[in-house]
Structure 1
Amino acid sequence: MVENRPWLNVLTHLVLIIGVAIVAFPVYVAFIASTQAPNTFLRGVMPLLPGDNMVANYTEMLTTGMSTSGAPPLGLMLANSTLMAIIITVGKIVISITSAFAIVYFRFPLRTLAFWLIFVTLMLPVEVRIIPTFAVVANLGLLNSYAGLTLPLIASATATFLFRQFFLTIPDELMEAARVDGAGAMKFFRDILLPLSRTNIAALSVILFIYGWVQYLWPLLVTTDSRYYTIVMGIKRMAARADSEPQWQLVMAAVILAMLPPVLVVILMQRLFVKGLVETEK
Structure 2
Amino acid sequence: MNRVLAERPLEGAASENDPALRASRARQRRGRWLAHGILLLGVLIFALPIWITLVGSSHDVNTIGRGEVPLWFGSHAIDNYIAAWERGGSAVRNTRAVPAGTMLWNSAVMATLIAAGKIAISILSAYAVVFFSFPGRMAFFWMIFITLMLPVEVRIIPTFQVVVDLNLTDSMAGLVIPVIASATATLLFRQFFLTIPDEYVEAAKIDGAGPLRFFWDVVLPLSRTNIAALFVILFIYGWNQYLWPLLIITDTSLETVVVGLSKMIGRGDAQNEWNAIMATAILALLPPVAVVILMQRWFVKGLTETEK
Q: Give the TM-score normalised by the residue count of structure 1.
A: 0.95
Aligned residue type for 1:49: W
Structure of larger gyration radius: 2
Is 1:33 aligned with 2:56?
A: yes
Which residue of the partner structure matches residue 40 of structure 2? 17
Which residue of the partner structure matches residue 57 of structure 1? 80
Residues in 2 aligned to 1:132 and 1:216: alpha-carbon distance in whole angstroms: 18
**1:220-253: CA deviations, max 9, x gaps?**
1111010110000100000136961131011000
Q: How many residue pairs align between the two structures?
A: 280
Percent of matched pairs sharing the same residue: 57
TM-aligned CA deviation for residue 280 of structure 1: 6.5
Which residue of the partner structure matches residue 231 of structure 1? 257
Is 1:137 aligned with 2:195?
A: no
TM-aligned CA deviation for residue 281 of structure 1: 11
Residues in 2 aligned to 1:159 and 1:263: alpha-carbon distance in whole angstroms: 22
Aligned residue type for 1:82: A
**1:122-156: CA deviations, max 9, x gaps?**
11243221111000000000000000000000000
Residues in 1 aligned to 2:307 and 2:82: alpha-carbon distance in whole angstroms: 44
**1:6-34: CA deviations, max 9, x gaps?**
22221221111111111111100111111
**1:164-188: CA deviations, max 9, x gaps?**
0000011101111111111111111
TM-aligned CA deviation for residue 218 of structure 1: 0.3
Q: Tell me, which stretches of 5 or more residues in structure 2 are unaligned?
A: 1-23
Aligned residue type for 1:115: F
Residues in 1 aligned to 2:114 and 2:52: alpha-carbon distance in whole angstroms: 31
Q: 1:240 aligns to what SS in structure 2?
A: coil
Is 1:220 aligned with 2:243?
A: no
Residues in 1 aligned to 2:268 and 2:77: alpha-carbon distance in whole angstroms: 18
Which residue of the partner structure matches residue 19 of structure 2? none
Deviates more, 1:125-134 or 1:226-235: 125-134
Aligned residue type for 1:164: R
Residues in 1 aligned to 2:162 and 2:69: alpha-carbon distance in whole angstroms: 47
Query: Quick check: 2:265–2:272 contact (8 Å CA) kept in 1?
Result: no
Which residue of the partner structure matches residue 251 of structure 1? 277
Please point out which of 107, 117, 126 is paired with 1:91: 117
Q: Tell me, which stretches of 5 or more residues in structure 1 are unaligned?
A: none
Residues in 1 aligned to 2:248 and 2:168: alpha-carbon distance in whole angstroms: 8
Deviates more, 1:119-128 or 1:179-188: 119-128
Residues in 1 aligned to 2:266 and 2:104: alpha-carbon distance in whole angstroms: 19
TM-aligned CA deviation for residue 121 of structure 1: 0.6
Aligned residue type for 2:51: Y
Q: 1:96 aligns to what SS in structure 2?
A: helix
Which residue of the partner structure matches residue 180 of structure 1? 206
Residues in 2 aligned to 1:207 and 1:240: alpha-carbon distance in whole angstroms: 31
In structure 2, relative to structure 1, the CA distance for the partners of 1:88 and 1:65 (3 Å cut) is same
Please point out which of 218, 230, 237 is paired with 1:211: 237
**1:181-230: CA deviations, max 9, x gaps?**
11111111000100100000000000000000000010011110101100
Which residue of the partner structure matches residue 273 of structure 1? 299
Residues in 1 aligned to 2:206 and 2:307: alpha-carbon distance in whole angstroms: 31
Please point out which of 45, 52, 61 is paired with 2:68: 45
Residues in 2 aligned to 1:42 and 1:72: alpha-carbon distance in whole angstroms: 22
Residues in 2 aligned to 1:8 and 1:220: alpha-carbon distance in whole angstroms: 48
Q: 1:93 aligns to what SS in structure 2?
A: helix
Aligned residue type for 2:43: V
In structure 2, relative to structure 1, the CA distance for the partners of 1:241 and 1:34 (3 Å cut) is farther
Query: Quick check: 1:126–1:153 contact (8 Å CA) kept in 2?
Result: no
Query: Quick check: 2:144–2:183 contact (8 Å CA) kept in 1?
Result: yes
Residues in 1 aligned to 2:145 and 2:273: alpha-carbon distance in whole angstroms: 46
Aligned residue type for 1:168: L
Which residue of the partner structure matches residue 162 of structure 1? 188
TM-aligned CA deviation for residue 95 of structure 1: 0.1
Q: Give the TM-score normalised by the residue count of structure 2.
A: 0.88
Q: Cα RMSD (Å) of the superposition?
A: 1.7
